[in-house]
Amino acid sequence: MPRITRAEVHRVARLARLSLSDAEADRMTTDLDHILEYVETLQDLDTEGIEPTAHAIPLKTPMRSDRATPGLDPALAVRNAPEALETAFVVPKVIEGEEEG
Amino acid sequence: MSGSPLSRFEMVIGLEVHAQLRTESKLFSSAKVSFGDAPNHNVEPVCLALPGVLPVLNRRAVECAILAGLATHCTVHTRSVFARKHYFYPDLPKGYQISQFELPIATGGWIDIQVGADAEAVTKRIGLTRIHMEEDAGKSIHDDAVAGSDATLVDLNRAGVPLVEIVSEPDLRSPAEAGAYLRTLRSILRYIDVSDADMEKGNFRCDANVSLRPIGREEFGTRTELKNLNSFRFVEAAILAEARRQASILADGGEIQQATMAYDAATDRTRVLRLKEDAHDYRYFPDPDLIPLEIGAGEIEEFRRALPELADEKCLRFQAQYGLSEYDALQLSEDRALGDYFEAAVENHGAAKTVANWMLRDVLKALGELEVEIGDSKLTPEAFARLLELVDSGTITAKSGQGLVSDLVRAGGDPTALVSERGLEAVSDAGVLAAAVDEVLAEYPENIEKFRAGETKVLNFLMGQVMRRTQGKADPNAVRELLAERLEG
Amino acid sequence: MPSPLGTLAELRSALDAGTTSSQELVAQALERAEALKGGLNCFMGLRADAAREEALAADARRKRGEVRSRVDGVPVAIKDNMVQTGEPTTCASRILTGFVSPYTSTAVQRLVDAGAVVIGRTNMDEFAMGSSTEHSAIGPCHNPWDPTRTAGGSSGGSAAAVAAGIVPFALGSDTGGSIRQPASLCGVTGIKPTYGRVSRWGLVAFASSLDQIGVLARTAEDCASVLEIISGHDPRDSTSIPEPAPVYRDALERGIEDIVIGLPREYFAPEGADPAVLATVCAAVEELERAGARTREITLPHTRYGIATYYLIADAEASSNLARYDGVRYGLRARGTVGLTEMYERTRSEGFGDEVKRRIVLGTYVLSAGYYDAYYRKAQQVRTLLRGDFEQAFHGCDVIATPTAPEVAFRLGEKTADPLSMYLSDVYTVSASLAGIPGLSLPCGFHDGMPIGLQLLGPAMGEAAPLRVAAAYQRSTAHHENRAPETV
């Protein structure tokens, strides 16, 4: 009984904005199936009432005072951009009907 | 539109408001919060989601959120958790927004709104489900002229600006209630200096969830979500338009599909932006880069004590302390600065009702015309009190006084001096008044006949004429007496 | 080819004595790096010109009597996942092609402020995901002891650079063993401090609740010296321990008669590791007993759930941390796409390697609606149990000793076909990461000519004890002095 189907892999890949070829999806389905089988061992453990770890080393909430500092030189901010128009990033438009998210 | 399908249903409305907090710097970085700058002029590595950056929480933003929770009677939690909300969009640089999910900072509050006008006004309590903190996204600019028809520009100045999201219970039942809720919420946030809450400037945004149910039914119907509503007016109009749309469908025996809707003001209709077949899978989980937010119960109490008197308390106090009507008290307490001004003026002048009348009638009018806030008024409460005194003492007529308000608000100055400069002293000299009355009666002799025939209202017309002839400076009581004398013969 | 560089302590003495200069050392390091490039492939790139200038400045400082620290003027290599202003950082991934950082990571800045000279950036598994440095956009890093074998991962390049005597120390990062395991496989000493000890500001995130920057060097003493410089509270990292950098070196001289070493039975199970590895590690423990330490058997009962717990948490966090690589603001953007979604999908599909994609899909899956409770939340609960194991154990001992890896360095290509088999090589290192406690690995012997590592774990905030034990071991043994053959 497979723990994950190829359709599921495609769905999750889509969520993560990855496109997989059929061959890749097949390989990944097998690999993930093995891994999920392996991690199923955790279900053996009774964790009733156990708090999930928020942070390994308990700390107090750090906060900073509300002071603004000068930002990056805008030219520097876009320097690595694959495409920029002056100091704005340029991206392809969302095609009508495309899902946000 | 009477007899419309809508009349068979009850509207159920819930509002989600996003208000930008009044801080100098962003929620998780020290980049500046500022508006109108050129793209990407207020960004740091954190705002750009560069590899390796980390968030650090802004203390002032937390304070604002606590105050917002307390001012809306929420339970402010001693422990809340920041969570990542994942989706892909160019104005969301990390591919996730840092928000709060399972454990928000405040839950379970309420605000009271006034529904209906004047004498019919009733108070209704609207529940708040929760308030949580989150960061704003950047801006996508779809400008074909600039970027071409197949590209979008992305400006991350706004990315990371602190927001509170305030979610109401679905307790609202009409567009008017929704409007009242928004105005009240805005007033509260401004009162406590937490947000400028200006819808036009985009720092107070509202999404509305709308559904219908047959009158008398308990169960809620399927709801749709209205987004991108840019003004209070549009919120109300959009809710109504959507309610009509849904009513029409339901009346025909159809079903409402869950959807995100947009409102088109030009056609006064809503349209589907996208259907919600699947809820977004945001894959929320606690942000491992941030420690859960712990606030001491003692600290929360300190904030509660430091809260300024809020609008609703002030409204009650104004009625009790100054004998104002509920309506007047409401108007004057809605804006904190206006209320403070009122009280300062009363301190100087004494007669609260007079001050209230003049403020609500004349000062607010002047502010509206000049498009300024009470804080920008050059007419100080002290000068205002002096003006009222000049009227009370008969030095000038009420009408003259009213005429001065706008100039004083705009340019300031001493009312007494202004009165001398412009020669506005009231005319009470019997001789001058008599002459004016005689002139008017001579011009409109037919009115004497009319009056004697029983049409007593011509007196008002004649009074108006005398006032005009004396540039409003004639003492109205004296004029009325003289006219009456002459007319009765 | 210039000869291998000595240890940090040796170089410092030589610099102080005037028998060498920073310029000489840096030139030697750069030349050696160049010469070994083909054979080892342990560098992504070198910053030769900048390094030479910095060496010049270091010598000038020394002449003026303004020596800044123990690392002033000494060449160092940093893993290619720590940003530095003006330098390219790729994390060995195509998706960061061309990215040049406008800011510097705190750990690197502290080293630079202390006068160290960064000569280049080392090879790694893409985004630190891997245990062999085979998942790299520039191809695998080779083990200096045997180039047909892996150097371990993900800090394989850093481990190899130190093992091959190119630099006396290097910075690496450790999320589930990525400093300790390559240290073990390459015969060097490596330390992962307590979570939060070293700032993560500027460390490209893989798994935020597990990542830590650490040090690889030839000796525990050297590791301690460098750790002092890079540790300490950083207000830019909310998970940073709010304490200044501890001083470690003072305690290193002390003997270990007061030390109780815990030996967890679960880590010495015969079927869990190569028998030669177990035998060598046991011999090392006996050596520590001869040096005065006492040992006792302990139990860490949840050990066998460590790998599953680790991969669920690490991959979930990774899938989230890697969402920002989308072709919008920096790095690779796929060409010839139509519309935003296709741009995202093609960019990420072309830019990420297979292992990274696999982990992103797994991580996304375990966070997705319907699976969060069963997988992610469950794993975080088991994590609490694992932490509890260690807390309990440290009531009765001061350090815990285990093998670092179940076997010596495996051959290139041996495990890449089966991802799960690769994950299982982390079995001895992941639990300490999950618990946030410090761990180091030091060389304790050989098998088939390949190094074997002894792992020492300390309680949270307690790097001092394992460092002290390691220093004592290195005073009475010489495994760490062995040099990889110069035949590469």
Please answer whether residues B240 and B212 qualify as being in contact, where contact means their C-beta atoms are separated by less than 8 angstroms: no
Roughly what angle, to the nearest 10 degrees, separates helices B476-488 and B445-452? 70
User: Does the A1-45 domain belong in CATH 2.60.40.10?
Assistant: no
| B262-282 residue pLDDT tens | 999 999 999 998 887 667 899
> What is the structure's pLDDT at C304?
93
The rounded distance, in Å, linking the Cα atoms of C116 and C109 is 10
Average pLDDT over residues B47-53: 98
Query: Is residue B404 domain-shared with residue B441, that is, in the same domain?
Result: no
The DSSP H or E segment spanning A85 is strand A84-85
Strand partners, B13: B172, B210
| C83-118 residue pLDDT tens | 999 999 999 999 999 999 999 999 999 999 999 999
> What is the structure's pLDDT at A96?
61
Interface pTM, i.e. ipTM: 0.97
Please answer whether residues C311 and C275 qualify as being in contact, where contact means their C-beta atoms are separated by less than 8 angstroms: no
| B437-476 residue pLDDT tens | 888 888 888 888 888 888 878 888 888 888 888 887 787 8
| B164-199 residue pLDDT tens | 999 999 999 999 999 999 999 998 999 999 999 998
| C18-47 residue pLDDT tens | 999 999 999 999 999 999 999 999 999 999
| C416-434 residue pLDDT tens | 888 888 888 899 999 999 9
Query: Is residue B414 domain-shared with residue B436, that is, in the same domain?
Result: no
The rounded distance, in Å, linking the Cα atoms of C349 and C328 is 15
Most confident listed range (B250-259, B386-395, C149-158)? C149-158
* CA–CA distances in Å: residue C18 to residues C11, C30, C225: 10, 21, 21
* Sequence letter at residue A34: H
Peptide bond into C154 cis (omega under 30): yes
Is residue C362 within 8 angstroms of chain A, CB to CB?
yes
Query: Is residue B278 domain-shared with residue B320, that is, in the same domain?
Result: no
- Is B427 a residue whose pLDDT tops 80? no
Query: Average pLDDT over chain C, rounded to whole?
Result: 96
Query: Is residue B440 domain-shared with residue B411, that is, in the same domain?
Result: no
The answer as to whether B304 is a domain residue is: no
Beta-strand pair C399-403/C260-264: parallel
> What is the structure's pLDDT at A59?
83
Please answer whether residues C131 and C154 qualify as being in contact, where contact means their C-beta atoms are separated by less than 8 angstroms: yes
The rounded distance, in Å, linking the Cα atoms of B110 and B131 is 11
Residue that is last in its domain, among B299, B325, B345: B299
Expressed as residue numbers, the domain containing B246 is 5-299
> What is the structure's pLDDT at B2?
53
The answer as to whether B448 is a domain residue is: yes
The answer as to whether B121 is a domain residue is: yes
| C39-73 residue pLDDT tens | 999 999 999 999 999 999 999 999 999 999 999 99
- Of C93, C132, C154, C184, the catalytic one is C154
Average pLDDT over residues B146-161: 88
Q: What are phi and psi of B212, to 5 degrees?
A: -125, 155
SS percent in chain A: helix, strand, coil, step 5: 35, 10, 55
Chain A nearest C-alpha distance from B263 (Å): 18
In this complex, the residue of A24, A78, A93 whose CB is nearest that of residue C340 is A93
| C280-302 residue pLDDT tens | 999 999 999 999 999 999 999 99
- Is C320 a residue whose pLDDT tops 90? yes
Average pLDDT over residues B327-353: 90
Query: Average pLDDT over chain A, rounded to whole?
Result: 89
- Is B487 a residue whose pLDDT tops 90? no
Residue that is last in its domain, among B270, B299, B328: B299
Share of chain B above pLDDT 70, in %: 98
Q: Do A55 and C209 touch (CB under 8 A)?
A: yes
DSSP string, C114-148: TT-EEEEEE--SGGG--SSS-S-TT-PPEETTEEE
The rounded distance, in Å, linking the Cα atoms of B333 and B52 is 49
Say whether C240 is catalytic: no
- Is C161 a residue whose pLDDT tops 60? yes
* pLDDT bracket for residue A97 (50, 70, 90): low
Beta-strand pair A63-64/B57-58: parallel
The total of other beta-carbon atoms located within 10 Å of residue B77's CB is 20
> What is the structure's pLDDT at C249?
87
CATH of the domain at B434: 1.10.10.410
Q: Do B52 and C102 touch (CB under 8 A)?
A: no
Report the chain B residue with the minimal C-alpha distance to residue C339.
B150
Give all domains of chain C, ordered by start, each with its CATH number. Answer: 8-255 (3.90.1300.10)
* pLDDT bracket for residue B326 (50, 70, 90): confident
- Is C153 a residue whose pLDDT tops 90? yes
The rounded distance, in Å, linking the Cα atoms of B316 and C136 is 70
- The SS3 call for residue C8 is helix
The rounded distance, in Å, linking the Cα atoms of C305 and C387 is 12
Query: Is residue B327 domain-shared with residue B258, that is, in the same domain?
Result: no
Query: Is residue B256 domain-shared with residue B192, that is, in the same domain?
Result: yes
Instruction: Please state whether C152 falls in left (phi above 0), alpha (psi between -120 and 50) or beta.
Output: left
Say whether C178 is catalytic: yes
**Least reliable range by pLDDT among A6-10, B403-407, C428-432, C452-456:** B403-407
Q: What are phi and psi of C339, to 5 degrees?
A: 85, 165
Q: What are phi and psi of B52, to 5 degrees?
A: 95, -5
Strand partners, B126: B111
| B55-70 residue pLDDT tens | 999 999 999 999 999 9
The answer as to whether B345 is a domain residue is: yes
Chain A nearest C-alpha distance from C195 (Å): 7
Domain spans in chain A, listed from the N-terminal domain onward: 1-45
* pLDDT bracket for residue C349 (50, 70, 90): very high
Please answer whether residues B330 and B349 qualify as being in contact, where contact means their C-beta atoms are separated by less than 8 angstroms: no
Domain total in chain B: 3
Residue that is last in its domain, among B364, B394, B422: B422
- Is B121 a residue whose pLDDT tops 80? no
Please answer whether residues B311 and B187 qualify as being in contact, where contact means their C-beta atoms are separated by less than 8 angstroms: yes
Residues 6 or more apart whose Cβ sits within 8 Å of residue A51: C381, C384
Q: Give me the helices (H) in C187-292, please.
A: 220-230, 249-252, 275-290
Report the chain C residue with the minimal C-alpha distance to residue B91.
C328
Query: Is residue B389 domain-shared with residue B473, that is, in the same domain?
Result: no
> What is the structure's pLDDT at B118?
66
- The SS3 call for residue A75 is helix
Q: What are phi and psi of C5, to 5 degrees?
A: -75, 155
- Which tokens sit at C140? 């695998």
Query: Average pLDDT over chain B, rounded to whole?
Result: 90
* CA–CA distances in Å: residue C85 to residues B48, C106, C198, C406: 15, 11, 19, 39
> What is the structure's pLDDT at B469?
84
The rounded distance, in Å, linking the Cα atoms of B124 and C432 is 57
Q: Do A42 and C308 touch (CB under 8 A)?
A: yes
3-state SS string over C355-419? HHHHHHHHHHHHHCCCCCHHHHHHHHHHHHHHHHHHHHHCCCCCEEEEECCCCCCCECCCCCCCH
Interface of A with C in 8-27 (CB under 8 A): 8-9, 12-13, 15-20, 24
Interface of C with A in 152-191 (CB under 8 A): none
> What is the structure's pLDDT at C15?
97
Is residue C352 within 8 angstroms of chain A, CB to CB?
yes
Beta-strand pair B79-80/B293-294: antiparallel
Share of chain B above pLDDT 90, in %: 61
Which of C162, C183, C84, C90 is CA-nearest to residue C429?
Answer: C183
Q: What are phi and psi of B437, to 5 degrees?
A: -60, -45
Average pLDDT over residues B322-340: 89
Interface of A with C in 30-59 (CB under 8 A): 31-32, 34-36, 38-43, 45, 47, 50-53, 55-57, 59
DSSP string, C306-362: HHHHHHHHHHHHHHHHGGG-SSSSSS---SS--SHHHHHHHHHHHHS-HHHHHHHHH
Which of C294, C305, C300 is CA-nearest to residue C427?
Answer: C305
Report the chain C residue with the minimal C-alpha distance to residue B279.
C369
Neighboring chain A residues of C425 at a CB cutoff of 8 Å: none
Please answer whether residues C142 and C149 qualify as being in contact, where contact means their C-beta atoms are separated by less than 8 angstroms: yes
Residue recorded with tokens 């308390």: B313
- Is B148 a residue whose pLDDT tops 80? no
* pLDDT bracket for residue B1 (50, 70, 90): very low
Which of C91, C68, C66 is CA-nearest to residue C78?
Answer: C91
Residues 6 or more apart whose Cβ sits within 8 Å of residue B386: B348, B414, B415, B416
* Sequence letter at residue C372: Y
Residue recorded with tokens 């909430």: A61
| B221-238 residue pLDDT tens | 999 999 988 899 999 999
- Of C21, C132, C178, C184, the catalytic one is C178
- Of C79, C132, C319, C441, the catalytic one is C79
Query: Is residue B279 domain-shared with residue B131, that is, in the same domain?
Result: yes
